[in-house]
Amino acid sequence: MAYLTLKNINKIYPNGFHAVHDFNMEAERGEFIVFVGPSGCGKSTTLRMIAGLEDISKGEFLIDGELANNWAPREREVAMVFQSYALYPNMTVYDNLAFGLNLQGVDEDVIEERVQKTAKILGLTDYLDRMPRALSGGQRQRVAVGRSIIRKVGIFLMDEPLSNLDAKQRVTMRSEITQIHRETGATTIYVTHDQTEAMTMADRIVVMKDGYVQQVGTPKEVYFNPANMFVAGFIGEPPMNFIRRRVEKGCIHVGSHCIDLSKKLGERIAEYEGKDIVFGFRPEAVVLGGQADAYTVSGMVELTEMLGDNANVYVDVDSDKAILKVTPHEIPAMDSEVVFSIPVESVYLFDAETEQVI
């Protein structure tokens, strides 16, 4: 049986706003789950319902098979790290870490042992005597994380814990949190709007939009088998390119190129005759020039961005915009025509009406 079960969870706020619709998910013990989606999609609301900080309007939340909807936060054995972490400014790092255990009346020698162990995991051993003001942002964030993991809890909840850090600190803390998770073994639910954080940290990702779960899957599943255009466009950087066209005699026309969709869909293409379809491909799936077993398209180069190990090329493809990822040695000249191919297996087709993958 799953450790955490969310069954048709809904949140309707007192003002009538329906923030979360029929959220379904199961998490195994020790899993690292990431909720990802744009601002306002209901990630924090769902996390707060799991923490017991927000009532569940409808649906069932089970911990280890027991209905926990009405359990107090304390009974749920959760620890939560928020976006804005508040450390006690007049206490040393040691005392900040020990605070919760002191309140619980834990023995001094047990506290000492746990503080030392937590500090070691987080690389804070040399800072235990310091005051928070004498720490960098990243170190303060580690103390905040430490205050949660020092309590032995089953569920670790994090709401955008890295958003106050600069880009470099975020990358470092990302791997540190993953490592802490591995060492503590606590089931972790982590909220972010950053798809890179989701992809790099998660065992499984829950992609949300407008209060609805769009897809639940491993990073590989949501990247390689996106359920719909939203997931396809949200996961991956730069995002997937989309070209919308009407299907005529099994083909779509992109500039002078005729793209025979039966190569991809076989006889099913007949269902889409006369209808609009969305042709999707990732910037990194593109090969410059013509290729066998591939769809070949051309476009005009509007902008190039050299990034070091690769480059982004912005092209106008028959009035649609697309981004191609190329090696630094392949960057085409501005305003030139570029011919490129997308292997048939790297093309995604979406129903233009439902936006679901075909």
Check: CB of residue 209 under 8 Å from CB of residue 219.
no
Alpha helices in the chain (DSSP H): 43-51, 93-103, 108-122, 137-149, 167-184, 195-201, 219-224, 229-234, 262-265
Place of tokens 């639910």: 189
CB of 10 to ligand ATP, least distance (A): 12
Which stretch in 42-50, 280-288, 295-303, 341-349 sits in contact with ligand ATP by CB under 6 A? 42-50
CB of 237 to ligand ATP, least distance (A): 18
Site string for ligand ATP, 161-200 (x = CB under 6 A): --------------------------------x-------
Q: Which is nearer to ligand ATP, 17 or 224 (CB)?
A: 17
User: Could you tell me which residues are beta bridge partners of residue 320?
Assistant: 317
Q: Give the whole-angstrom CA distance, residue 127 versus residue 210.
A: 43
Selected binder of ligand ATP within 5, 42, 68, 96 (CB under 6 A): 42
Which stretch in 13-21, 61-69, 230-238, 321-329 sits in contact with ligand ATP by CB under 6 A? 13-21
Check: CB of residue 203 under 8 Å from CB of residue 32.
yes
Residue 51 parent element (H or E): helix 43-51
Using rule CB under 6 A, residue 104 touches ligand ATP: no
Question: Rounded to whole angstroms, what are the CA distances from 194 to 10, 13, 36, 160, 238?
Answer: 24, 26, 7, 9, 13
Using rule CB under 6 A, residue 256 touches ligand ATP: no
Using rule CB under 6 A, residue 319 touches ligand ATP: no
CB of 196 to ligand ATP, least distance (A): 15
| Identity at 228, one-letter amino acid code | N
Selected binder of ligand ATP within 40, 238, 239, 343 (CB under 6 A): 40
Sign of CA dihedral 205, 179, 156, 132: negative
Structure token digits, residue 148 = 């949660």
Q: Give the whole-angstrom CA distance, residue 178 versus residue 199.
A: 12
Selected binder of ligand ATP within 1, 39, 266, 308 (CB under 6 A): 39
CB of 42 to ligand ATP, least distance (A): 4
Site string for ligand ATP, 44-83 (x = CB under 6 A): xx--------------------------------------
At what angle are helices 137-149 and 108-122 packed, to 10 degrees? 130
Interacting residues with ligand ATP (CB under 6 A) = 13, 15, 17, 19, 37, 39-45, 193
